[in-house]
Amino acid sequence: MVTDTDGYIQIIEYLTEHLSLFENAVAPAQATETVMSAIEIELCDQIINVCSQNENLTFNQRNAIIREVDAIVYDLEEILSGVINNPVNAKQQAFITEFAG
């Protein structure tokens, strides 16, 4: 599992090092998307890309990927719990896109 690797731990550390990007952030006046919805959209796009590029994945393999992403989302919800429902701004969106990619 990806979440059991040193690389995953480093990615989570990278996120925690950049928490200031999410804390006390100013959102655009007409922001409609939240930090959580931005994360969900980016991760869903990644799942779709992986599955589309690997058409030979079995049903069980696809489910394993989805379970991994669920675990990642849970970790992100824990780390970003104080800001998860806040509107997302452009800098946060760019970070989320980079992080998910």
**Residue 7, φ and ψ in degrees, nearest 5:** -60, -40
Tell me if 97 sits within 8 A of 36, measured CB to CB.
Answer: no
Q: DSSP class of residue 20?
A: G
CB-based contacts of 91: which residues, under 8 Å, 6+ apart? 21, 25
- pTM value? 0.83
pLDDT tens track for 47-95: 999 989 999 999 999 999 999 989 989 999 999 999 999 999 999 999 9
pLDDT tens track for 10-57: 988 999 999 999 988 887 778 789 999 999 999 999 999 998 999 999
